[in-house]
Amino acid sequence: MAERYAARSAGMTTSEVRALFAVAARPEVISLAGGMPFVQALPSGEILRVVTEVITDRATVALQYGSGSGQPSLKIRLAALMAEQGIDAEPDDVLITVGAQQALDLVGKLFIDPGDEIAVEAPSYVGALSAFSVYEPRYLQIPMDDDGLSVDALEASLAAGARPKFLYVCPNFHNPAGVTLSLERRRRLVEVCSRAGVPIVEDDPYGMLRFEGEPLPSIRSLDPENVIYLGTLSKIFCPGIRVGWTVAPAGTTAQLTLLKEAADLCSSNLNMLVAEAWLADRDRWTGTLGALVDVYRGRRDACLAALERHFPAGATWTRPAGGFYVWVTIPEADTKALLPAAVARGVAYVPGTAFYADGSGRDRLRLAFCYPPEDAIEEGVRRLGELLAGLPVEPAPADSRAR
């Protein structure tokens, strides 16, 4: 049958991150690989109560098809949440999607013809690269440093004639780089992109997972006419609910809604009503978010301390002020080739190559500190450090439950 597949699916392979989930799920492996939220910290009894209330009080809506752009009551809540983030949005500006991941797919479908150039950060979220690649773009990779995407490099590419269909950025606690785009760069970025007529896709799953410091204005708040903002409840509530959304200029929202309806008619009313009921109790949802942030901050600290203790001289890493990820550079290492040896020693990470459209990044790796407890993070980083130092290591104990 495969010879009948469309050409665009020919290059599609299982993402490196997804392939890793299988090995990383083995109980003896400490997984610093997948960015899985620590859902064990959620109040499951409370969530059960919310689900029961929705089914009890609103069954005829919850169990029915809904509007293609999303449950109106949830759109009102999300518009209010956006206003708190400094983003001016009417409920009609919000399109609810199946996670931010569906929004990435819809953006790709709307903008990319085969061979079109799009600009992405190098490195970029692997799921965005997978979503866009289905539409066969050429990638213009823009380098990053500790202040996020290099606006100078973008400007230079534009001056040299590049005209990407859009620029995709993850400005807060970047996946995988862990860094945050500085305020000065945000301001310059909107100017540069507006002048060149390049729309910005701002993907912001982690912005509310801030461990310290003051939030920065979203890119959308700096230039609403040229920015498509993507939000999600996956990291501030739970990914199982699959609620994400876009806030875009009106014409773009209308087009994205048509594409969304063509893909799935509508998101799950049941999930959207549960999300709405969850957000209706401010103390409850912000309290839960605060508890999650405390857990992740402790794990970030454990990860950074373990890196200091165990990683070889010459290795460098980012110091995220929020989110899930630390990005490590190890000159001379081939992190892709090292991965099987790491897994054999009971620790998993994602090699840097997963995050570059051109497959570079062999001297990089991503550590996700969100899921394993602090002692497991310390042990996982220790095992990796030993591997990198070329020291003989003990095999992982077969009965270890640490993940």
Ligand X SMILES: Cc1ncc(COP(=O)(O)O)c(C=O)c1O
Site residues, ligand X (CB under 6 A): 35, 99-101, 125, 127, 170, 175, 203, 205, 232, 234, 239, 244
Quote the CA–CA distance of 87 and 67 in Å, as a whole number: 24
330's tokens: 């190890």
Q: CB-side exposure of 119: number of CA atoms within 13 Å?
A: 29
Nearest approach, Cβ of residue 36 and ligand X (Å): 9
C-alpha to C-alpha distances, 35 to 60, 122, 192, 202, 268, nearest whole angstrom: 36, 19, 32, 19, 24
Quote the CA–CA distance of 365 and 86 in Å, as a whole number: 34
Closest residue to ligand X using C-beta atoms:
99
Nearer to ligand X, 137 or 323 (CB): 323
Nearest approach, Cβ of residue 288 and ligand X (Å): 17
Query: Nearest to residue 297, comparing CAs of 231, 213, 380, 241?
Result: 213
What is the phi-psi region of residue 27: left when phi exceeds 0, alpha when psi lies from -120 to 50, beta otherwise? alpha
Nearest approach, Cβ of residue 39 and ligand X (Å): 12
Nearer to ligand X, 100 or 402 (CB): 100
Nearer to ligand X, 198 or 370 (CB): 370
Nearest approach, Cβ of residue 126 and ligand X (Å): 9
Nearer to ligand X, 34 or 346 (CB): 34
Quote the CA–CA distance of 367 and 34 in Å, as a whole number: 9
Q: Is 373 exposed, middle or buried (0-12, 13-18, 19+ CB in 10 A)?
A: middle
Nearer to ligand X, 192 or 233 (CB): 233
Nearest approach, Cβ of residue 102 and ligand X (Å): 7
Nearest approach, Cβ of residue 177 and ligand X (Å): 11
For residue 71, the one-letter residue type is Q
Nearer to ligand X, 232 or 267 (CB): 232
Nearest approach, Cβ of residue 275 and ligand X (Å): 12
Quote the CA–CA distance of 333 and 276 in Å, as a whole number: 47
Nearer to ligand X, 317 or 325 (CB): 325
